[in-house]
Amino acid sequence: MDARMLELYDLWLEKAVDDPDLAGELADISGDEAAITDRFYCELTFGTAGLRGVIGAGANRMNVYTVRRATQGLADYLNAGTAAKAAAISYDSRHKSALFAREAARVLAANGITVYLTDALYPTPVLSFAVRHYRCGAGIMITASHNPAAYNGYKCYGADGCQMTDQAAGAVTACIEKLNVFADIRLIDFDRAVAGGQIRMVGEELLEPYLAAVMATQIDPDICKNQPLSVIYTPLNGTGNLPVRRVLAAAGVTDLTVVPEQEAPDGDFPTCPYPNPETRQVFEKGLELAQTIQPDLLLATDPDADRVGVAVPRTAAVPGDGGYELIGGNEAGALMLWYILSRRTEKNAKKTLPDRPVMVKTIVTTELARRIAAHFGCETVEVLTGFKYIGEQILQLETAGEAERFVFGYEESYGYLAGSYVRDKDAVSACLLICEMAAYYKSKGKSLLGVLEELYAKFGYYRQSVVNKTFEGAEGMAAMDRLMTRLRTRLREQMPAEIAGYRITGYYDYQTSEHTDLETGAKTALTLPQSNVLRYILGGGQLIIRPSGTEPKIKAYVTAVGKNAAEAEELTVKLSAAAEGILSE
């Protein structure tokens, strides 16, 4: 074992005494070279997504010391700049989330930064709202979103309520790297800071204006009152339970059943160890209830309630699916976009479409959205993967005095936003919009699946899939880098003519900021920020390959479009198999 790692282990064994769990873990791994290496071979990386990692002892783990160090770096960044010397902090239901939030508050307060700390767990979008509501210079959300129970994380926000940009995150990282995790951290007694006003506990006075802003996004405030709708909802043992129930009740959704096993906050997520609303497994308990209740909708929000999944009754029975089909993030977003644009263009709409409306989507989100937007004369702005880039577009519009032009933003990973009141995806408002949409189409004798089929018939049959390759351990990051390097080398030196039998007509390299049209030979500079992403344009679809920003994996996003469902599905299967081969090289 590297002598430096052993030195770090001994240092932590001596110094990490504030949390008994850490001291016990360090004692248990004495002499275990692999366990020590895994905890100390690197430090958790602070990026635009903040920190995220397994909870435990060591520099490569989420614990009170890595949280304090990151927060001291954030404090130094704020105190060296011109942003307001105030920060909002909230947290989700994960293990140690409340402790990490409290420790972050102690550090900021000790550095002369006023802290607005929520008095209970709240969704991520509430934290985004709080930053702007209290005119803060920064925000911290303690969450690992939809990761398994072993994880926790630390999302950092700028003064605009959006997750930090690359430049700001880089500046904070530079501050963090100067700090010794044990010697350079300022702390204040929590109770003394609360008594002195350096830490201000906030709750209902924050939630009420946030919920009012969510309700203001309604297009037809009376539809759920006039058209009965039966809904099963699960917060997946996270933060969404109370705010989602409150907005749906206010909208008139009275027939609402919450999945009992998944209602109370629980960091173990006992019935859904991977609490990701993109997976069918999180709906299993709700589907059991659905056999009796037979609802119009099933909704599932992830632990920090910034993503939402949807399941709806099938028009025809399919063995083994309980009669309900999950609507993917691409498809749910397309339905919401169609609903917003079509309803807001109606002559007597209560909320009319603005002049020069704008929809924002990520590069991995379905092109069906672009076609829907164009149908209504709505501009499509495409950004890199990550909702912070959608938030940046809202800020640009707001700075120009045109925030009302933003009508919708979404990403394929189940994140949606209809309104500029926050700068992150919001599952609370998405639940409201989905219910409003479902009630409206029900009043017209239509189902959501039926409306989706109408969109396919009008714009083309779009299908998507995501292929993942995980790279664990100390060698994982190096292996990911080698794979992306090989793919780029191949583009320069031995460009493949096809993928899965489909001709490559062009490609984008977002790291070199260049688009190459293989049919004309033309090269075009890209205006998006540099990012480690490759995008292949194919006859009938596209393939995008990028390392995840939050997990040790590379993702391949497959998009196919056909004249009918069978053609699109056949292409999706072929491209997905090809993507698996590419990621396994």
Residues whose CB is less than 8 angstroms from the CB of residue 15 and which lie 6 or more positions away in sequence, other chains included: 182
- CB distance 153 to 147 below 8 Å: yes
d(CA 540, CA 26): 54
d(CA 504, CA 535): 10
d(CA 233, CA 242): 11
Q: What region, left, alpha or beta, does residue 379 occupy, with left being phi > 0 and alpha being psi -120 to 50 degrees?
A: beta
Q: Which helix (H) or strand (E) holds 467?
A: strand 461-470
- CB distance 507 to 537 below 8 Å: yes
User: What is the total residue count of the chain?
Assistant: 585
d(CA 194, CA 198): 6
Q: What is the 3-state secondary structure (H, E, C) of 367-395?
A: CHHHHHHHHCCCEEEEECCCHHHHHHHHH
CA-nearest of 72, 48, 66, 59 to 4 is: 59
The residue from 90, 93, 128, 145 that is catalytic is 145
- CB distance 87 to 113 below 8 Å: yes
- CB distance 284 to 298 below 8 Å: no
Structural tokens at position 194:
């609360």
Active site residue 128: no
Query: Which residues belong to the active site?
Result: 145
